[in-house]
Amino acid sequence: MYMSRFDRISLGHFPTPLERLDNLTARLGGPEIWIKRDDCTGLATGGNKTRKLEFLVAEALRWGADTIVTHGATQSNHVRQTAAAACRTGLGCHALLERRVTNMGDLYDETGNVLLDDVFGCSYEFRPEGLDMNAEGQAAADALAERGRKPYFVPGGGSNPVGALGYVGCADELVRQLDLDGLRIDAIVHATGSAGTQAGLLAGLHAMSVDLPVIGVSVRAPAERQRANVHRLAEATADHLGVRGDLPRERVLVDDTQVGEGYGQPTDEMVDAMQLLAREEGILLDPVYSGKGFAGLVAMIRRGEFTKGQRVVFVHTGGSAALFAYPHLFSDKTAAKAA
């Protein structure tokens, strides 16, 4: 795929590994389970946002920006990686942190990703839940511009057509790995939130005429709303690529069975899935995104939606730094409702 026509800088370690989970495959007795290790992208403990930031920060530099402005939830993986990318490129970083989770104890605002935001010198301010955070972020950028700065605003999750190019590239990378290993797979599964990862994968596969199911396990929105968000961004990304032909809405597959009580709220299924992968394969997930995404895959296997003879790839989007904001989950082995 001709991606070099887009501005891009190098921030991550690519290609990320594609590994077969032998122990877990045997334990669950279903399909072959493979994992695409986008937790190993290298930037600030890794994660999926690194791919997006390679394109977003490149555009910021081309526009002459001196500061990146963005937003996310308190324990935002995106903000942590954006702050690190700003350090790498000599830019400032300012973030708005939305308090979507308020029942995890006093240290929730200080540990995990927030601690790393401090380490990277990111300035931030908190906002209550329920605001239009893209509007709030743009207003913060405008205020910096009025003071003589040159801000570049990145929407939540880096999820716009420029950021989604990162997962267009991932789709191409994954297909190349499958070809090199002679692997046929039946589906890709991952956690979906701000929609950029799933939209980029779908747009990339569509551009390559690869008809491969991509199932997003929602961590926040009900299925129909998430499907609409992903489809809208996937179409915009395909248009940005110059791909001919509509991307059918029915290709956007969303499972919302793991949302539980809401964004960042633990579930027993998530805790069990995280412990299962850690103890069978030595791989860490996070409680907000990849933990619920992997719980979705485990539930699909146990429901018989994937069976022996099939092969599934789970895209690990990273986020283990957030584990340190949820220590109580793994001390008493229950999904406590509050600290």
- Tens-digit pLDDT profile for residues 29-78: 999 999 999 999 999 999 999 999 999 999 999 999 999 999 999 999 99
Q: Where do you find CATH 3.40.50.1100 in the chain?
A: 18-47+160-330, 62-157
Alpha carbon 77 to its chain centroid, in Å, reads 8
Read off the pLDDT band of 338 (50, 70, 90).
Answer: very low
Beta bridge mates, 152? 68
Alpha-carbon distance 338 to 230, whole Å? 31
Q: Which two tokens stand for residue 251?
A: 């290709």
The CATH class that applies to domain 62-157 reads: alpha beta
Q: Is 187 helix (H, G, I), strand (E, B) or coil?
A: strand
Residue whose token pair is 């973030």? 95
Read off the pLDDT band of 234 (50, 70, 90).
Answer: very high
Give the model's pLDDT for residue 245.
Answer: 82
Phi, psi (rounded to 5 degrees) for 34: -115, 155
Cα–Cα–Cα angle for 16, 19, 22, nearest 5°? Answer: 165
**Continuous H helices in the chain:** 22-28, 49-62, 77-89, 113-119, 133-146, 161-181, 196-207, 223-241, 268-281, 290-302
Cβ-contact 96, 140 below 8 angstroms: yes
Give the model's pLDDT for residue 290.
Answer: 98
Alpha-carbon distance 276 to 339, whole Å? 23
Q: Which of these is catalytic: 4, 76, 194, 320?
A: 76
Q: pLDDT tens digit string along 241-263? A: 999 889 999 999 999 999 999 99
Side by side, the strands of the sheet bearing 123-128 are: 123-128, 92-99, 67-73, 151-153
Rounding to the nearest 10 degrees, give the CA dihedral for residues 281, 282, 284, 290: 0
The CATH class that applies to domain 18-47+160-330 reads: alpha beta
Q: Is 250 helix (H, G, I), strand (E, B) or coil?
A: helix
Alpha carbon 127 to its chain centroid, in Å, reads 22
Read off the pLDDT band of 332 (50, 70, 90).
Answer: low
4 catalytically annotated = no
Instruction: Look up residue 75 and give its DSSP letter.
Output: T
